[in-house]
Amino acid sequence: MVIIMEKEADVKQIEQIIDKLDKFGFSVHRSTGVDHTVLGVIGDTAKIDPRDLQVLPGVADAHRISAPYKMVSREFKHNDTLIKIKDITIGAEEIVVMAGPCSVESEEQIMTIAEKVSSDGATILRGGAFKPRSSPYSFQGMGEKGLKLLRKAADKYNLLLITEAMDKEQISVVSEYADILQVGARNMQNFTFLKALGQVRIPIFLKRGIAATIEEWLMSAEYILSGGNQNVILCERGIRTFETYTRNTLDLSAIPIVKKLSHLPIVSDPSHGTGLRDKVIPMARASVAAGADGLMVEVHHDPENAKSDGAQSLFPEQFSELMKQIRGIAKVINRKIR
Amino acid sequence: MVIIMEKEADVKQIEQIIDKLDKFGFSVHRSTGVDHTVLGVIGDTAKIDPRDLQVLPGVADAHRISAPYKMVSREFKHNDTLIKIKDITIGAEEIVVMAGPCSVESEEQIMTIAEKVSSDGATILRGGAFKPRSSPYSFQGMGEKGLKLLRKAADKYNLLLITEAMDKEQISVVSEYADILQVGARNMQNFTFLKALGQVRIPIFLKRGIAATIEEWLMSAEYILSGGNQNVILCERGIRTFETYTRNTLDLSAIPIVKKLSHLPIVSDPSHGTGLRDKVIPMARASVAAGADGLMVEVHHDPENAKSDGAQSLFPEQFSELMKQIRGIAKVINRKIR
Amino acid sequence: MVIIMEKEADVKQIEQIIDKLDKFGFSVHRSTGVDHTVLGVIGDTAKIDPRDLQVLPGVADAHRISAPYKMVSREFKHNDTLIKIKDITIGAEEIVVMAGPCSVESEEQIMTIAEKVSSDGATILRGGAFKPRSSPYSFQGMGEKGLKLLRKAADKYNLLLITEAMDKEQISVVSEYADILQVGARNMQNFTFLKALGQVRIPIFLKRGIAATIEEWLMSAEYILSGGNQNVILCERGIRTFETYTRNTLDLSAIPIVKKLSHLPIVSDPSHGTGLRDKVIPMARASVAAGADGLMVEVHHDPENAKSDGAQSLFPEQFSELMKQIRGIAKVINRKIR
Amino acid sequence: MVIIMEKEADVKQIEQIIDKLDKFGFSVHRSTGVDHTVLGVIGDTAKIDPRDLQVLPGVADAHRISAPYKMVSREFKHNDTLIKIKDITIGAEEIVVMAGPCSVESEEQIMTIAEKVSSDGATILRGGAFKPRSSPYSFQGMGEKGLKLLRKAADKYNLLLITEAMDKEQISVVSEYADILQVGARNMQNFTFLKALGQVRIPIFLKRGIAATIEEWLMSAEYILSGGNQNVILCERGIRTFETYTRNTLDLSAIPIVKKLSHLPIVSDPSHGTGLRDKVIPMARASVAAGADGLMVEVHHDPENAKSDGAQSLFPEQFSELMKQIRGIAKVINRKIR
């Protein structure tokens, strides 16, 4: 943390600030310039809110030098985190594809879709049993019965399973069936949930909040890592902008940024990122080109009758086409897709 | 719901849509114009996502006519909801003032502040015992011990108590001590929490999410009302915009809009809305002028040493000044403040 | 400007930066701390983009200490700028009211409206003759013929006249008729226009861009002041947010912020700020309560047949009611309205 | 346009609306449903603002069916617009690369860079002579002298030249030297400029405004096409979001959306889109993968001493690497790069 004093700041004001920081256990390095005195604060400044310093008398400005997160940063851990589950590794040379319906609706539905996506090269089945819906009147998911169907389909077609838990109470039941536990965008700052996820060992798939900055997202991951669970996969799924043609705006620049700031793997979700079936293929290609470690894509054998998110689910033949195209792109950047 | 067919839509496409809607239990009124066929969908369309219709072959556009919420709407209940707790009524002629520190820190602190705000005319004590913090390394609140101190201070100075619960597990302990249960902005779409809040009877203070539209906010209130709890107070606390000078942008136009769309009372929080102590007084005045039913204001007897949100907490003498100014404004619009 | 070097920055990197800044004519104050070397840059740093320093090898961060604007800042000129035009002073105790139609449409229309708003206490007539429209197919205004009608109406009812010029070519014709020249939100960063406005002496009414930060807005004012024209009035007219119920979100916190950062007067436009007639009165009251130096309000004697912006124009009787209400609020904060 | 009447709307209200629309020259198709009467408005509704209808008594809602733009739409012109300049065609199978410095600074600089980018396969030289800068104290460009140097460099290395004009007065001088005239993001809604651009024949490169929706952007293009100039190239260059790590957020989904809605070619500018040199290569790859017809990239032989935008300019060797990578991606999607 660097604190820049106002030109007119007097000695008493400067000393008050040094005393205050000293009381909190920080060392302060004082440097007297021609115009401004600058104070360098040494210690674990992640605990201080710069705004609390900015309002003190005599202070012109206060800035963090180091990021507020630690364990998620590449400075803390230099090498990429590889998340190994059975025979799949997320974050390595192979780009993983997670595919499946928005919600599990019936045994027939999930079996049909799982067979399809597996045969095209997806290695992880996605599908929701507990559904966060903005309306209390919308389909809320099949619950544990859905989890059982998802597991059955994943096992039959040799897929890993990723599915969402909506709060800390659902962690244990979801962990019983799934290989990866998904945290939805609206839960990115559900802090009691994040703390509980630090206590378990199942890999966590942490979606970016719809209006979250990358720093806030990494801070949420920090909650999980600092709690003890090192297995976090980040997922860019679109942020809210003024554009209304798409459901969200997929922020692909988050991919190279996260790769630089953090050692955690990052996956792109062009289905939620666009909300429109015919935009999923180009944005999936672009995600791979931008360096994503994986894709999450919604696929439905009958999207027009899907109980949720039909508008953004690919038809099976579109998914085959997508797989073909991204394999070509992966090769160009020295990665591969099964 | 109104569905506008494309100019080129053929009879088969139109009939497929009618069949589909019929299957879901809707009646359809068909009107054939010169250019476009328009289908009026009759029934409980809150269950349908217009996007699912927009992607069907032959559909040019689909729009909801009625709002997706029901029980929170003024159409559903014409008269203002009045929330009576002991001798206080929220939503009536009197504008209520909720004041206190961001977090309870000690007995001495909360007693000092409660005495002060009570003597100036506040009728509800605010203060957090469970604190949602974006960093796992920040002060996380005193927990139940803090709730006890808050209750003690409220009782001693004849104040009601409002405090936050962070998830459904904390509902019972917070309800034991508080008169009003606060739901933070980041929890506005924590749906399992909202469902649980519908099952209890304590009044709920529902903050607007930082990037939420008013419709989404009302949908979250709908979760609580449709669950059975009619006592919801809405709180505008600032939305995220590109402006960085303030912490958030207090959207005061939300006040007259909510008053028109809904029967629920609405309170303004200029402390979180601006994040800056010296902007709180003008924005509190503006909130009252815009028609708010109440104010929530952070006050601390020693803001420079507050454990959280010191930068936006008023000094005690500023709070006295604020109360004086808003009393004058309330009178102009035929309301009053104690 | 303060430059914070990385922990690992070596002497050569530090010296390269000092050399570079030296070459541009800056003095550098170097301070060696335990972890980081901090460089204080002395001189006119408004010319440097901090991003250009942030990317240099060895640099951890670079921040401006002083604002990038000078002449618009309160540090530069301590006292409020008062803009005197005939018998009206903008920025003084009296809050000025600018009222009239969106566009001048005919002599009868503008005379009717001017008479009305004048009799209620407005002192400045507003109305557009050159209209910036997002569609080339919308009504584009009456042009110079409209300016003549506006002047005639203003003179007859003893009002000042404010109207918009859309580019530098229109400055001279607008200056011939108007007392104040309005720059629209979409032109806030039309830099060749801003430069030309610095060369004239007519007071400029500079609307905030729909996605502009306050700093960018003040930088645009700086263009005008640094060109030689000190008579700038700022106008908050709403910013774009995710809320769709209103046309824009009126950012009233901009009022106390601008009053602190700058000596220039600030006016609020609740008509464009909300886009909805029935939200104009509460937001006009709130603007006055927040400390605005003036209001700009659209009024039409027959809004349902207005050629533009009818939806946000007040009926004459609503304008009378608004004037009554804001007079009461002005008194509470020791200001007055004619 | 479809107008949905309120349930309680009476016959008189319906007839008033029909009369009003009739007076403006529209035919109205009336359809009486069980709950709501729906009016279909037939004629050139691009002239009507739906908000003006929404506020009329008895109206529940009013929506446009057709887009407000015409000539830019794919409905109006089915085939892709190809813009042929000398031996280059923009919008065809070949993806064009526009490269060069932010600003022309000297003959040596522009010659060095032009030689470099030409040898790597760029076919169009970019560089600014008139620079829109948010600060009046920043480098404002070399003016016409710069245009001469740009032309000289382009001719020597067999490149086309694209450069910016800042207002209608600069059109003629820029047209004298350049092959393509660039309109900056801040000028996207400078309507007098857009009208003047409709009168000339030089191809226009129209950047998206920083907070513009795709519809607003296409409406700005409509100004130029409806004025008579069919040669418009759209450029996605990043929109403002809450993310501060990047300068802007490059909205790559705009590429497939524009390709669907319009026949005009679309180019991506990852340099302004990210503002950070090391993010340009992955986002350039992603742009090609998403279907862009071209790239605009800033390259400087000595970015650390560039007079503007050094932080986002590629080093020459980075540009060579970028060209190599995007050639591979182009092949996968059946396009090519020289």
pLDDT in tens, B313-330: 999 999 999 999 999 999
CB crowding A210-235: b at 16 or more within 10 Å, else e: bbbbbbbbbbbbbbbbbbebbbbbbb
> In this complex, do D35 and B40 lie within 8 Å of one another by their Cβ atoms?
yes
Whether residue B29 and residue D33 make contact (CB cut-off 8 A), yes or no, is yes
Question: A211 vs B211: CB contact, 8 Å cut-off?
Answer: yes
Cβ distance A243 to D260 less than 8 Å, yes or no, reads no
Residue D2 has pLDDT above 90, yes or no: no
Task: Tell me the C-alpha distance between B231 and D105, whole Å.
Answer: 66
**Shortest Cα distance from B32 to chain A (angstroms)?**
24
In which band, very low, low, confident or very high, does the pLDDT at B254 lie, cut at 50, 70 and 90?
very high
Euclidean distance between CA atoms A270 and A249, whole angstroms: 9
- List chain B residues with CB under 8 Å of C287: 286
Q: Once rounded to an integer, what is the mean pLDDT over residues D33-46? A: 78
ipTM of this complex: 0.93
Average pLDDT, integer, range D210-235: 97
Collect the ranges in chain A with pLDDT lower than 70: 34
Q: CB of A285 within 8 A of CB of D290?
A: yes
Token readout for D38 is: 């729906």
Q: Do D278 and A256 touch (CB under 8 A)?
A: yes
pLDDT of residue B34: 67
Interface-testing mutation among C30, C32, C36, C64, with chain A (most A C-beta atoms within 10 A): C36
Is the pLDDT score of B44 beyond 80?
Answer: no
Superfamily of domain D83-332: Aldolase class I (3.20.20.70)
Residue of D nearest to A273 (CA): D253
pLDDT score for D34: 67
Give this prediction's pTM. Answer: 0.94
What is the per-residue pLDDT for B108? Answer: 97
**SS in 3 state form for A173-238?**
HHHHHCCEEEECHHHCCCHHHHHHHHCCCCCEEEECCCCCCHHHHHHHHHHHHHHCCCCEEEEECC
Token output for A79: 């090498």
List, in sequence order, the alpha helices (H) in D55-189.
107-120, 144-156, 171-177
Q: Give residue limits of the domains in chain C.
A: 2-63, 83-332
- Which of A190, A214, A274 should one mutate to test binding to chain B, selecting the residue with the greatest count of B CBs within 10 A? A190
Is C282 within 8 Å of B273 when comparing Cβ atoms? no
Q: Which residues of A touch B134 (CB under 8 A)?
A: 189, 216, 219-220
**What's the mean per-residue pLDDT of chain D?**
94
Q: Measured at the alpha carbon of residue C283, what is the angle toward residues C277 and C287, in degrees to the nearest 5? A: 140
Q: Interface partners of C (3+ CB pairs, < 8 Å)?
A: A, B, D
Q: What is the pLDDT of residue D200?
A: 97
Token pair 């590889």 is at which residue?
Answer: A82
Alpha-carbon distance of C198 to C173, in angstroms, equals 16
Say yes or no for a CB contact (<8 Å) between B277 and A54. Answer: no
pLDDT in tens for each of the 338 residues of chain C?
888 888 888 999 999 899 988 888 888 888 777 677 888 888 777 777 888 888 888 888 888 877 889 999 998 999 999 999 999 999 999 999 999 999 999 999 999 999 999 999 999 999 999 999 988 988 899 999 999 999 999 999 999 999 999 999 999 999 999 999 999 999 999 999 999 999 999 999 999 999 999 999 999 999 999 999 999 999 999 999 999 889 999 999 999 999 999 999 999 999 999 998 999 999 999 999 999 999 999 999 998 888 888 889 999 999 999 999 999 999 999 999 99
C2-63 — its CATH code? 3.30.70.1140
Evaluate whether C2-63 and C83-332 have a shared fold: no
Give partners of A (≥3 CB pairs < 8 A).
B, C, D
Q: Which residues of A touch D257 (CB under 8 A)?
A: 245-246, 279
Enumerate long-range contacts of A333-338, CB under 8 Å, 24 or more apart.
Answer: A333/A288, A333/A289, A333/A291, A333/D285, A333/D325, A334/A93, A335/A93, A335/A94, A335/A95, A335/A288, A336/A93, A336/A94, A336/A95, A337/A94, A337/A95, A337/A97, A337/A121, A337/A288, A338/A94, A338/A97, A338/A121, A338/A123
Q: What is the pLDDT of residue C14?
A: 93
Nearest-by-CA chain A residue for C37: A40
Distance of alpha carbon C267 from alpha carbon C294, whole angstroms: 4
pLDDT at B8 over 90: no
Identify residue A163 by its one-letter amino acid code: T
For D49-88, the pLDDT digits (tens) are 888 888 888 888 888 877 889 999 998 999 999 999 999 9
User: D289 and A282: CB-CB below 8 Å?
Assistant: yes
Q: For residue B64, list chain C residues with Cβ-Cβ distance below 8 A.
A: none
With cut-offs at 50, 70 and 90, classify the pLDDT of residue B40: confident
Q: Is A239 helix (H, G, I), strand (E, B) or coil?
A: strand
CB contact under 8 Å between A255 and D282, yes or no, is yes
Mean pLDDT (whole number) for D170-193: 97
Q: What is the mean pLDDT of residues B228-247?
A: 96
Cβ within 8 Å, pair A252-D252: yes
Residues of D with Cβ-Cβ distance to B40 under 8 angstroms? 31, 33-36, 38
Q: Which tokens is D18 given?
A: 């029909």
